[in-house]
Amino acid sequence: MNNQNLFAALRAAFPADLDTPAIETADTPQRLVYTWRDLDHATAMIANLLQSLELPAGTRVAVQTEKSVEALMLYLGVLRAGYVYLPLNTAYQASEIEYFIGNAEPGVVVCSGRNFGWVSKIAFKAGTQHVFTLNEDRSGTLLERAYHQPTQHEPAQRGADELAAILYTSGTTGRSKGAMLTHGNLLSNAQTLHAYWGWRADDVLIHALPIFHVHGLFVASHGALLAGARMIWFSKFDPQAVAARLPEATVFMGVPTLYVRLLAEPSVNRETCAGMRLFVAGSAPLLIETFNEWRNRTGHTIVERYGMSETAMLTSNPYHAQDGDRRGGTVGFPLPGVGLRVQDDQGQPLPTGEIGGIQVKGPNVFVGYWRMPEKTKEEFTADGWFKTGDVGLVDERGYVTIVGRSKDLVISGGYNVYPAEVEGVINELPGVSESAVVGVPHPDFGEAVVAVVVPRAGATVQPDEVIAALKQRIANFKVPKQVYVVPELPRNTMGKVQKNLLRDQHKGLFGG
């Protein structure tokens, strides 16, 4: 049987001449160029190191490090060795990391050297045997140990249905859930996008997204690797620096905030974008104003696509003109091989053009939530379709439009914020009786988190103290940009907090 290991498929797409550049850094103190041979050798060394630890099959390798080429090599090395990669956002604070590590029980944890003290404490408590460090400047124990390993490694034999990664996602209710993605899920999606977006070996991708979520880790990286295409690698998004590299590139991917910020750079214009062939946006709704302004300014029409941690990419506007127009405000067509339907609350199919819950099926759809069989069952229909929690419609031409979400979720700058989680942390603060967290329009982040807090009788609560306390406890992008202290929350006759009223009341806060 063919090896279905995702790394093996990516490796097979490396160019014949391994000594050509694969990745070039854009913002390290000195420019670093990594050849395909470097990628091959380094991932082999990391895979050999992991295998030397004699970890049981299915071991999770949890990683919270700054973005670097070595962090990408670590991801690929984990795949190569056949273990399960578990990326964690660098913004997560100790209590969040404690939850993820406690839930996933990784056999290996890799963190930044500066966090080793607290991360290793959490990891060892959860039973993790090995904690390595990896820093932006290529120092740390992971590479020190890997350095002594052989540069040859036969990718571990894996079936399409074996786990490759677990991505924690907020989902609809309760605590974060680990979406289990297989080698087959990720490879099929990468191959579909490769063909649909016309990836070529001479493409040059500007990679400026974080690599701890689907967009940067899978969509962008797999796209370039599977094409044998070069990447210009930014560890952090800097609009001016990214704009300066556009003339050398052909592909760019970003969440809408990246496009909004790039539009503020006068150097982004037809001339500097003349060599570009593909701009992709997703992870959050792209405003039609941004879509239009981008086209006017650069002459390029953004390809908006839609996906999730649980499914990787589901739909995309067409790339090839013969497949149709790229329509702003829509997320395009279901990708080849992806089934998409719209149902009402009673589970009945809705006719074309009517708004309902979006459900999907396909080789890209995950196999379930880590150790949560009940939650998994709830999110699938009896006939096996995954309920996305997104609300939308399919028009007569087949284009999908997302009009909202049935899940209580705020997407800020492309990051998901689950209001119940933030409310839970606020409610534990001294003097707080209850709270409600909503998302309101924001010109830069699309949506911004706002909290409305009710103090206990006789207590005083200061908004800036709430914000300061939250910064210690949760990732910074989840921290409300504004906190209001009110005597009571608006409720309907059933006693349910009327978040729509709060959203309405504060919708002009950021001039959005």
| Interface positions with ligand AMP (CB under 6 A) | 169, 214, 282-285, 304, 306-309, 331, 388-390, 402, 405, 411, 416
How far, in Å, CA of 202 to CA of 49, rounded?
33
**Partner whose binding site includes residue 210, from ligand MLC, ligand AMP, none (CB under 5 to 8 Å by kind):** ligand MLC
Positive or negative torsion for Cα 120, 74, 472, 167: negative
Residue number with CB closer to ligand AMP (34 or 415): 415
Alpha helices (runs of H) in 462-505, residue ranges in sequence order: 463-473, 499-505
**Partner whose binding site includes residue 285, from ligand MLC, ligand AMP, none (CB under 5 to 8 Å by kind):** ligand AMP
Closest CA to 242 of 269, 207, 271: 207
CB of residue 220 to ligand MLC, shortest distance in Å = 9
CB of residue 170 to ligand MLC, shortest distance in Å = 10
Q: Please give the angle made by the CA atoms of 234, 481 and 266, to the nearest 5 degrees.
A: 45
Name the residue whose CB lies closest to ligand MLC: 413
Residue number with CB closer to ligand AMP (136 or 310): 310
C-alpha gyration radius of the chain? 23
User: Residues in contact with ligand MLC, total (CB under 6 A)?
Assistant: 22
Q: Which stretch binds ligand MLC (CB under 6 A): 97-105, 123-131, 411-419, 427-435?
A: 411-419
440 is an interface residue for ligand MLC by CB under 6 A:
no
Closest CA to 76 of 44, 49, 32, 38: 44
Map residues 450-479 to x or -, x wherever contact with ligand MLC holds by CB under 6 A: --------------------------xx--
36 is an interface residue for ligand MLC by CB under 6 A:
no
216 is an interface residue for ligand MLC by CB under 6 A:
yes
Residue number with CB closer to ligand AMP (108 or 422): 422
Which residues contact residue 484 at a Cβ distance below 8 angstroms, ignoring those fewer than 6 apart?
Answer: 450, 451, 452, 453, 463, 506
Q: Residue 490, Cα to own-chain centre: how many angstroms? A: 34
CB of residue 196 to ligand AMP, shortest distance in Å = 15
Which residues contact residue 472 at a Cβ distance below 8 angstroms, ignoring those fewer than 6 apart?
Answer: 93
439 is an interface residue for ligand MLC by CB under 6 A:
no
Specify whether the backbone of 379 is left (phi greater than 0), alpha (psi in -120 to 50) or beta.
Answer: alpha
Out of 207, 213, 327, 361, point to the residue binding ligand MLC (CB under 6 A): 213
Residue number with CB closer to ligand MLC (216 or 389): 216
How far, in Å, CA of 349 to CA of 351, rounded?
7
**Partner whose binding site includes residue 331, from ligand AMP, ligand MLC, none (CB under 5 to 8 Å by kind):** ligand AMP
236 is an interface residue for ligand MLC by CB under 6 A:
yes
How far, in Å, CA of 93 to CA of 100, rounded?
11
Q: Please give the angle made by the CA atoms of 87, 43 and 50, to the nearest 5 degrees.
A: 70
How far, in Å, CA of 480 to CA of 463, rounded?
10
Residue number with CB closer to ligand AMP (4 or 316): 316
Sort 271 into a burial class: Cβ within 10 Å, 0-12 / 13-18 / 19+.
exposed
Q: Is 257 helix (H, G, I), strand (E, B) or coil?
A: helix
Residue number with CB closer to ligand MLC (364 or 435): 364
445 is an interface residue for ligand MLC by CB under 6 A:
yes
Which residues contact ligand MLC by CB under 6 A? Answer: 209-210, 213-216, 236-237, 255, 257, 282-283, 307-309, 412-415, 445, 476-477
